[in-house]
């Protein structure tokens, strides 16, 4: 996979603004793990390698590792704050946290077309036409 990879952990404001909305190829993702104990619960964000996928950068953010203490009233104690980048693989999916150096900026356009609505709308039309009794509509064609 050819492309530009960032190895530094801090970006300037100009670099952040330039990356917003840009298409990138994601190679690593943060995954949250919770470790339970009788005294406390610990949350940790670990880096997991994934198959390279194209995505869009949406925002720069921070995630926290730490402890959840208390029986009745839960209190989160932050031990570590990590800077991350949030990306979306499709506009219909949720945002994923990725490490600052967990993506590549492609040198040429490699982003496939996003999941087009034509394919999904055709599937929905066929489904609703075959199940008209299960999904009644009002006079204007809206679902009741």
Whether residue 124 is contained in a domain is answered as no
Whether residue 115 is contained in a domain is answered as no
What is the predicted pLDDT for the residue at 108? Answer: 63
Whether residue 144 is contained in a domain is answered as no
Whether residue 121 is contained in a domain is answered as no
Whether residue 138 is contained in a domain is answered as no
Q: What is the DSSP string of the chain?
A: --SEE---S---HHHHHHHTT-EEEEEEEEEEEEEE-SSEEEEEEEEEEEEEEEEEEEEEEEEEEEEEE-SSS-EEEEEEEEEEEEEESSTTSPPEEEETTSEEE-SS--PPPP--HHHHHHHHHHHHHHTTTTS-B-TTS-B-
What is the predicted pLDDT for the residue at 118? Answer: 52
What is the predicted pLDDT for the residue at 58? Answer: 92
What is the predicted pLDDT for the residue at 44? Answer: 84
Whether residue 127 is contained in a domain is answered as no
pLDDT at 4 over 70: no
Whole-prediction pTM value? 0.63
Domain count, the chain: 1
Closest CA to 103 of 3, 27, 21, 12: 27
Place of tokens 């921070």: 62
* Residue 33 near residue 43, CB atoms below 8 Å: yes
Chain centroid to Cα 95, Å, comes to 2
Residue 121 CA to residue 136 CA, distance in Å, equals 18
What is the predicted pLDDT for the residue at 127? Answer: 72
Whether residue 28 is contained in a domain is answered as yes
Whether residue 120 is contained in a domain is answered as no
Span 49-86, pLDDT tens digits: 999 888 999 999 888 888 877 766 678 888 888 888 99
pLDDT at 3 over 50: no
Domain span at residue 57 reads: 4-107
Span 103-127, pLDDT tens digits: 888 876 554 444 545 555 676 677 7
Span 6-30, pLDDT tens digits: 445 677 788 888 888 888 889 999 9
* Residue 24 near residue 55, CB atoms below 8 Å: yes
């Amino acid at each position: 996979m050819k492309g530009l990879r960032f190895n530094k952990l801090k970006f300037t404001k100009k670099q952040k603004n330039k990356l917003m909305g840009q298409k990138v190829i994601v190679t690593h993702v943060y995954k949250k793990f919770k470790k339970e104990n009788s005294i406390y619960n610990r949350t940790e964000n670990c880096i997991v390698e994934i198959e390279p996928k194209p995505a869009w950068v949406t925002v720069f953010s921070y995630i926290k590792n730490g402890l959840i203490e208390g029986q009745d009233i839960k209190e989160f104690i932050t031990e570590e704050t990590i800077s991350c980048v949030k990306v979306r693989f499709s506009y219909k999916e949720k945002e994923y946290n990725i490490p600052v150096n967990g993506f590549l900026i492609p040198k040429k356009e490699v982003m496939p077309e996003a999941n087009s609505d034509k394919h999904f709308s055709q599937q929905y039309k066929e489904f609703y036409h075959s199940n008209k009794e299960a999904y009644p509509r009002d006079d204007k064609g809206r679902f009741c």
